[in-house]
Structure 1
Amino acid sequence: MTDPTSLSTEILAILEARHGDPFGFLGRQPQEGGGAIVRTLQPRAHGVTVVARDGSGSWPMKRVHHHGFFTVDLPAEAVDVAYDLELATFNGQAVRQADPYSFGPLLGEQDLYYFCEGTHQRLWDCLGARIRTVEGVAGVQFAVWAPNAQRVSVIGDFNDWDGRINPMRLRIEGGVWEIFLPGIKELTHYKFEVLSAEGYVQVKSDPFAFFGQHGIQTASLVFDLERYTWSDQEWMQKRAAYDLYHKPMSVYEVHLGSWKRVPEDGNRSKSYLELADDLIPYVKSMNFTHIELMPVAEHPFDGSWGYQITGYFAPTSRFGNPDEFRQFVDRCHQAGIGVILDWVPGHFPKDAHGLAKFDGTALYEHADPRQGEHQDWGTLIFNYGRAEVKNFLVANALFWLEQYHIDGLRVDAVASMLYLDYSRKPWAWVPNKYGGRENLEAIDFMRDLNRICYERHPGSTIIAEESTAWPGVSRPTDAGGLGYGFKWNMGWMNDSLHYIQEDPIHRKYHHGEATFSMLYAYDENFILVISHDEVVHGKGSMINKMPGDRWQKFANLRMFYGWMWAHPGKKLVFMGCEFGQWQEWSHERSLDWHLFLGEEHASMQKLVAEMNRLYTTRPALYAQDHDGSGFQWLDASDGENSIFAFMRMAPGGDRVYCVINATPVPRKGYRVGVSEAGEYLELLNTDAPGYAGSGMTNPLPMPAGATAWQGQPMSIVIDLPPLGVVWLGK
C-alpha cells in the first residue's frame, strides 16, 4: 500500500500544478503485490468511473480530495485492460473519454535526437499540436520544447484553462514536453502554461501552432494541415526545373492588409479568398511574374507590418484560415504567378505570449542583451549557435516552401544578423571568438539554411535583403558565399533615387550616380528594388520624390521606371508605385485607387504593364541579368546633357537599346550606335501620348546606316524625348 502521507503530498503537488512527474503518478500505476491504482484530477466532475473499453468491467472511483481528485484500486485482471474514464459532470452531462495518462511516450527517439542535433527538417511533424489517432483513440498530440521548465501543461477550452488538469510528460533527452489528449477537435483553442525554474507561471502560445489568434487574443488553434488538395501540380513540376537566373522576374510587393480595403464594410481588409479574386487578376493584367507578400506569419501588432512575429508556423488569421491562404497561393500558381514570402529570422518581439523567455530562461534568444536584443527595434535576437533554435528556423523555412508551396523567401534584415555590432554603440556588443564583428553562428545558420532549402526545393529561391558590402551574399556556399539566390540592390536604389530627385538642371553634376551601379552590377545576383521602405516614414511617395511641376513629376517617374526596367537585374516595386500614388503608404488605409479618375495615373499603370510585357518577352532584358556579357555602354559619359545609353544582349542575338534623357530638353536627331544592319523599331517610349507624355516618338521603322557610332559599326537617328526613355530593337 502507498503511504497515506506520501499520497497526500503527491496529490497536493498535482493540485498545486508543481508535480515533477505527472505520468508517474496519474493514470494507471502498478501496485506492489499485484493490481493497479488509477488516479485522475477532474474538478468538473462529481463522480468518475473507470470503464473497460472491451466491456469487461467498470470500477467507480473514490473522491479523495474535495478539489476533484479521484482514485480506484483495480483488480489484477484489469491491470492491462484498455480503459476510459466516465465523468458525471456538475452540469448533468455524462462524458466518456480516454485517460491521457494511460498513453506511453509519443515522440520517437530519433526525432528527439535529430532535434537536439539541429538537423530535423520536418520539425512541424513532431512539435506543436498534431491531430492523430493513438491506440485507436482520436485526439491531438501536443509537444513543446521547454527544457528548463519545472512543469508544462496544455490549457484550453477543454479544461477551463486550468493548468492543473493536463500537465505534460518531460522527455528529458530532448527537453520536450508531450501529451496526447483524446477527443480534442480541430479549431480547439489552447496554450501552454509553463512553470519556470524560478517558480513563476507564464502562459505561452504554441511556437509551432498552424493557426492562431492575433491582437489582444492570442490563443493557438488546432488545425489539420492534411486536408487541403492542391491544384498547382503543373506549376510545381515546371518550377523544379526553372532557371530563375536566366528568366524574367518582375515582382509586385504587397501588404495584404492595405492593398485594397472594403470601405462599405467598416474599412476592413480583404480576406485571402477575396484577394485571390481581386489581386491575382490585377497582377496578371500588369504582367508581373511574382507577388512578394510582406510577412503573413502571425503577429499581434498591425503597426509592425508583420515583421514582429509570434506565430512562425501560422499564416495570420486576419485574412482567413491556413487552407484559405493555401488557396490564395494555389490560385496564384494556376494563374502563372510565383509567390515570394517575406521571412523574418533576424529578430522576434518581447510579447509575453511569444518566444521571449519561453521557459523562464533565454531559450530562443541570447541571455546577454549585448547579443540578444536589438535596442533600436525593441526586439530579441535568435541564438543562432543553439542547435534547437537553428533547427526551429531552418524547419520553418522548409515548412513554408513545402506546406504552402511558397516559391521563394525574402530574408529580412540580413545585415543585422551578419554583424555583431549592427546599430550598436562601441561598448554594447560582444566580439566573436577571433575578436571580430562578424556573427559566425548566424553566418553558419544562413549557409545551412540556403543549402538545405535549395537541396530540398529546387526551383525555389532565397533572397537576401542585405544593405552592406558583405562579399558573396548570392554566391554558392561551396565557393565561400552565403548561398542566397539573389540580393536586393540597395546601392542602386540609393544612388538612383538620389539622382532622380535632383532638379534636372543639376543632374549633370551627379551623372556618376546614374552610372556607378554598373561598376558592381555583377558582384551579386541583384534585384533592383523600390520597396515599401522607400515610401514611408516621411520619405514621400515615388511620385512626390520627383522634381518639377505635375507634368514633370510624372515624366520623371516614367523615365525612372523605363531606366529601371532596362537596367540589369530582376525588378521589384511596391504596390501603389505602379500608378504614382501621391500619399505615403500607410498600413491603416487602402491604396488610393480613386486616383484612376486622373489620366496620368492610369497611364503610369499602363506603362508599367507594357514594360513588364516587353521585359518578359525580350530575352535581352533578362537572360543575362547577372552576366557582364549581357550589357554594354553606348554612352556613359555625356553628363553635360544628362544622357546615357546602353545595349542589353541575350544569347541567340536579341538586342535592346536603351537611351535615357534625364533633362526636359528634347534632343532631335540623336544618333544611337547599333550592332547590326536592319530596320529598328521603337519598342517603348515613356513620352508616348498613351502614357500621358508629350508625344515625341519615333513611329516609323528606322534603317541602320553605315555610320559607326558609340563603338558600334552602324547607327540610327532618333528623336529623344524630354525626361524620357526610349527602348529600341530590331
Structure 2
Amino acid sequence: MVKKSKSTGDSKVLSAAPTEHPQHIGIVAHDPYLEPFEDAIRGRHDHVAWKISQLTNHGKETLSDFANGYQYYGLHRIPRGWVFREWAPNATDIYLVGDFNNWTESEQYRCKRIPNTGNWELRLPVRAMKHGDLFKMHVKWNGGQGERIPAWATRVVQDEKTKIFSAQVWAPKKAYQWKVNSFCPSKDPLLIYECHIGMAQDAEKVGTYTEFKDKVLPRIVKDGYNCMQVMAIQEHPYYGSFGYHVSSFFAPSSRFGTPEELKALIDAAHEQGIAVIMDIVHSHAVKNEVEGLGNLAGDPNQYFYPGDRHEHPAWDSLCFDYGKDDVIHFLLSNCKYWLNEFHFDGFRFDGVTSMLYYSHGLGEAFTNYGDYFNGHEDDNAICYLTMANKLIHEVNPSAVTIAEEVSGMPGLAARYEDGGYGFDYRLAMNIPDYWIKTIKEKRDEDWKPSSIFWEVKNRRADEETISYCESHDQALVGDKTIIFRLIDADMYWHFKRGDENERVRRGIALHKMIRLVTLGAINGGYLNFMGNEFGHPEWIDFPREGNGWSYKYARRQWNLVDNPDLDYHFLGDFDREMLRVIKSEPKFNLTPVQEIWHNDGDQILAFERGNLVFVFNFSPTRSYTDYGFLVKEGSYRVVLNTDAKCFGGYGFADDSVEHFTNPDPLYAKDHKGWLKLYIPARSAVVLRKCE
C-alpha cells in the first residue's frame, strides 16, 4: 500500500505574545516576535495583492469570475449539441475517440486549435455522442502521441475487466434537484467526522455514496458531529493511495457511484444539519500519464515544476507549478467547481507543508521563527493558497477551510487583511504526535498534567485550530491507533463485558480521558476518524498485491459497537455524551480555557470553560477524597464522568450528589470558594455550575 509521508518537522507552534502594536500588520501586531520578519510578511501579502490584480484585470472582475474554467473547458452539452475544449499548448493535433466512433480517429471528431492560445476546441451535433459513452483524447505532439483522459473530465470510470480508465459522457436528462440550496455550517464548535466512503461498510468491498447516506450518515447524526470531512473524492487510479494520488481533479470517484449519488449524500447531510467538507489534494498529482496530467501533450512540465522540483521526493508524485497562471486557473477553478456543482461546504487542504517549502518540509526542525523566513519558502505556493482561501470565501462566505500543516508557519490561519493566508483553521498536528509519544515512552506514573495541558492548548493566539487525538494517519498499516497502543492483542480476547483484564480496563479509561482533555481545550474544532470514537480494532490496509487484494482491513466493523455484549459500545456511548456536554455550553469556542489547578505529583489537572469545570486524575493508582479546587462560588452538578458504569467504568463516585463550594474569607471578594471532590484513580469528571 502507498502510505502518504508526512513532514518530520517539529509540530510545536510558538505562542503569540499578548502585546499589540497597531502600527504593524495584523499578525505582527498580535505577535511582536514576528517584527524582524515583517518585511517578508508584507512582501508575501503584496505578492498576493499584485497577482489578484493581474488575474482580475486590475479589479474589474473578481477571483470568482477568473475561476470559471470548469464552465469553459471539458465536455459540455449545449442547446445545439456538444462543445469540448482542452488546454494543451504543446499538442499538434487532438482527436476524440470513443464508443461513438469505434475508438478510431475521424475528421468529425478532430479538435481545432484556437488561434493565439494553447486551447483546442471541438463542436459536435447532438447525435455525435450520448450520455454514457466512453471516450478519450488521442493527442499528438512533435515526436510522439498517446491516448489521454481530458484534464477537465467530470466523469471517469474504470473497466472492471481491463482496469483501463476512460472519460465518460455525463449528461443525464434530468439534473439533480437540490432539496437544500443554502446551508450554513455550525462552527460552535466544529465537530468533524473524518470518513472514507469506500471503507465505511461492514462488508469486505468498496462502499458506495448511497450506502454511506443510508447506513453511516445516521450514525454521524446520532453521535452528535456537525461536519463530515470526506476523503478520496477526486478520482484516483489506485484505491490503496487513500485518494492522495489524484488523476482527475474534477471527477468524483466513480468507484463509489455516480455524481448524482454524491450530491444526494451531501443534500441528505445538509437536511440533517451536517456540513460536508472535502479532503482536497492540490499539493501534488499522480505521475500516471494515460489517466493523469503527467504528460498530457508531450510536455511533462505543462502543469508541473521543471527540473529538480518536478517530482516529490517522498510521495512518488508530481508537484504543481504554482507560478503559472494557467495552473492557478486550473486549481482555483477546481475549488469553485466542488463548491458550486456539489455544494461542498469547504475543504481540508492536504499536504500544505509540502507546498510551502522547497524542501517540502522534509527533515527540517522548524525550531524558531527564522526557519519560516529564510528563503526556502515557495512564494508561488503561498500566493496560491492565499488566493484559494479568498476565492472560496468569496464564493461561499460561510465555507470552512482547514490546513494540514505540520511546520507551524505563522499566519496560516490568520486573515488575509492581517497578513495571513486566510485559512479558517489549521490542524493541531502536535497533539496526536504527543499522545503517541506519551503512550509509547512514558509509564502511567510519569504522565504529567502540566505537559498534557500545555500540549492540548499549544497554539497561536490569533489562529483557530482543529484538535484531534488521531486521524486516518494513525490507523494505517505501520502505525497504531490509540486503542491498539493501549490494549493491543488483548482486544481480541478480553473485550467482552465482564471478561476485561487490567490492561483492557486501563485502555478503556485512558481512551476516554485522552479524548476528553483534547476536546475540552479546543479553540476551534475537533476531529475524529471514522470508527476511532468506539475504539475500532486493527489497522487500515487497502487491497494490494501484498495482502492478496483483500478488503478485510479496508472496512469498518459497525457490528462491534452495535453489540451490547462487547466493550466497544462503552466508548461509542461516551463519545456521544462527551460531544453533547460540549455543545450544551453556549458559544463554547468563545469561552477561555482557564487553568484552575495542576499538580504533577498528584497527577491532577483542572480547568474551566464558561460554566463547565473539567477535572482529571491521571494517576493509575491513587484516588483522592475531598480534593479541593478554588472555583466560582455556588453549586455544581456532575454532567459527565469517565468512570461511570454506563461508560465501562467502576462507578466509584455518586454522580447524583450536588456539590456546594465552601466559603473562604480570603477569596470572598472574588466570589470564589472551595469545591471538594472525590476523584478516583484514572478518571475524569465534568461539572456544570448550577444557575
TM-score (norm 1): 0.76
Q: Which residue number corresponds to residue 568 of structure 2? A: 601
Corresponding residue to 1:152 among 91, 94, 98 = 94
Q: Which residue number corresponds to residue 482 of structure 2? A: 542
Give secondary structure in 2 for the equivalent of 1:644.
strand
Q: Which residue number corresponds to residue 648 of structure 1? A: 609
Corresponding residue to 1:350 among 277, 283, 287 = 287
Equivalent residues of 2:456, 2:517 under 8 A apart: no
Identity fraction in percent: 26
Report how far residue 545 of structure 1 moved. 1.9
Report how far residue 440 of structure 1 moved. 0.6
Report the CA distance shift for 1:269/1:709 in structure 2 as closer, same or farther (over 3 A). farther
Alignment partner of 1:483 is 2:483: no
Q: 1:174-194 CA deviation, whole Å, 9 max, x = no partner?
A: 311110122121121111111
Instruction: Give the distance between the partners of 2:330 and 2:69, measured in 1 at CA.
Output: 7
Q: Which residue number corresponds to residue 192 of structure 2? A: 251
Q: Which residue number corresponds to residue 682 of structure 1? A: 638
Moved more, 285-294 or 719-728: 719-728
Give the residue type in structure 1 aligned to 2:378. Answer: N
**What number of residue pairs does the alignment pair up?**
583
Q: Which residue number corresponds to residue 267 of structure 2? A: 330
Report how far residue 281 of structure 1 moved. 0.7
Equivalent residues of 1:287, 1:613 under 8 A apart: yes
Equivalent residues of 2:75, 2:153 under 8 A apart: yes
Q: 1:138-169 CA deviation, whole Å, 9 max, x = no partner?
A: x3211111011111111111111113432211
Give the residue type in structure 2 aligned to 1:224. Answer: A
Give the residue type in structure 1 aligned to 2:644. Answer: A
Q: Which residue number corresponds to residue 310 of structure 1? A: 247
Instruction: Give the distance between the partners of 1:476 and 1:128, measured in 2 at CA.
Output: 34
Report how far residue 509 of structure 1 moved. 5.8
Equivalent residues of 2:522, 2:589 under 8 A apart: no
Give the residue type in structure 2 aligned to 1:422. Answer: H
Report how far residue 203 of structure 1 moved. 1.0
Equivalent residues of 1:579, 1:604 under 8 A apart: yes
Consecutive unaligned residues of structure 1, counting only runs of 5 or more, are 1-109, 427-433, 650-654
Instruction: Give the distance between the partners of 2:657 and 2:360, measured in 1 at CA.
Output: 55
Instruction: Give the distance between the partners of 1:376 and 1:336, measured in 2 at CA.
Output: 39
> Counterparts in 2 of 1:56-71, with a 5 A limit?
none
Equivalent residues of 1:656, 1:727 under 8 A apart: yes
> Counterparts in 2 of 1:101-120, with a 5 A limit?
120=66
Equivalent residues of 1:258, 1:586 under 8 A apart: no
Give the residue type in structure 1 aligned to 2:648. Answer: A
Q: Which residue number corresponds to residue 118 of structure 2? A: 175
Q: 1:646-705 CA deviation, whole Å, 9 max, x = no partner?
A: 1112xxxxx111111112222222222222x32210111011000010112332111122
Aligned CA-pair RMSD: 2.5
Corresponding residue to 2:166 among 212, 219, 225 = 219
Give the ranges of 4+ consecutive aligned residues of structure 1 lying more than 4 Å apart after TM superposition. Answer: 423-426, 500-504, 508-511, 708-712
> Counterparts in 2 of 1:636-675, with a 5 A limit?
636=598, 638-649=599-610, 655-664=611-620, 665-675=622-632
Instruction: Give the distance between the partners of 2:646 and 2:374, measured in 1 at CA.
Output: 60
Instruction: Give the distance between the partners of 2:362 and 2:652, measured in 1 at CA.
Output: 52
Give the residue type in structure 2 aligned to 1:542. Answer: I
Report the CA distance shift for 1:224/1:554 in structure 2 as closer, same or farther (over 3 A). same
Q: 1:355-391 CA deviation, whole Å, 9 max, x = no partner?
A: 0121111344335342121021110001101001111
Equivalent residues of 2:509, 2:682 under 8 A apart: yes
Q: Which residue number corresponds to residue 583 of structure 1? A: 538
Moved more, 212-221 or 497-506: 497-506
Q: Which residue number corresponds to residue 680 of structure 2? A: 721
Alignment partner of 1:407 is 2:345: yes
Q: Which residue number corresponds to residue 437 of structure 2? A: 498
Give secondary structure in 1 for the equivalent of 2:409.
coil
Equivalent residues of 1:644, 1:659 under 8 A apart: yes
Report the CA distance shift for 1:681/1:500 in structure 2 as closer, same or farther (over 3 A). farther
Q: 1:218-238 CA deviation, whole Å, 9 max, x = no partner?
A: 1111113871110013xx25x
Moved more, 598-607 or 405-414: 598-607
Give the residue type in structure 2 aligned to 1:611. Answer: M
Alignment partner of 1:205 is 2:181: no
Instruction: Give the distance between the partners of 1:500 and 1:661, measured in 2 at CA.
Output: 16
Q: Which residue number corresponds to residue 287 of structure 1? A: 224
TM-score (norm 2): 0.80
Corresponding residue to 2:593 among 622, 627, 631 = 631
> Counterparts in 2 of 1:78-157, with a 5 A limit?
120-134=66-80, 139-157=81-99
Give the residue type in structure 2 aligned to 1:219. Answer: S
Equivalent residues of 1:421, 1:437 under 8 A apart: yes
Report the CA distance shift for 1:160/1:718 in structure 2 as closer, same or farther (over 3 A). same
Give secondary structure in 2 for the equivalent of 1:546.
helix
Give the residue type in structure 2 aligned to 1:619. Answer: P
Give secondary structure in 2 for the equivalent of 1:572.
strand
Give the residue type in structure 2 aligned to 1:550. Answer: V
The structure in which a higher percent of residues are strand is 1
